[in-house]
Amino acid sequence: MYAITPILLLASLFSTSLAADIYIQGRHFGGDDRIQIGNTNCGQDVYHYSDITCDGNARMHLGSVVPHDCKADAPGNTYTNIVASGKCKAHLGNFYQQDDDADDNEEDYEDFLESDDDTNED
């Protein structure tokens, strides 16, 4: 049951629903976790995070990857008591793709997930 719970959680977070509120509380990401929570398809969900911890070598992106032609308002995020330690990299915000040809922001996102430096980001 515990192994499938994160999969179900992530599946629900990549929804295409409009103006849905999603609350994520008391989550810990650690070790070598690579976690993306947020829309990747111009959704309008609003995410509220509280008491989230990130440590080890985890890469945690709490935001959306917004396509360049997305006409919807950017999804809103509320953060409370987010703690990143060790070599964790936590990006709290959205990655915006600029245009069809230039996937620089997508590359920034991939670099963020794969990088091994010691810097915590917010």
- Indicate whether 17 belongs to any domain: yes
Q: What is the pLDDT of residues 72-94, one digit of tens each?
A: 665 588 999 999 999 999 999 88
Residue 90 CB neighbours (<10 A): 24
pLDDT tens track for 33-73? 999 999 988 888 899 999 999 999 999 999 998 888 887 66
User: Is the residue at 119 inside a domain?
Assistant: no
> What pTM value is reported for the model?
0.66
Rounded Cα distance, 88 and 31, in Å: 9
| Domain residue limits at 44 | 4-114
CA distance 86 to 66: 28
Q: Is residue 66 part of a domain?
A: yes
Task: Tell me if 120 is assigned to some domain.
Answer: no
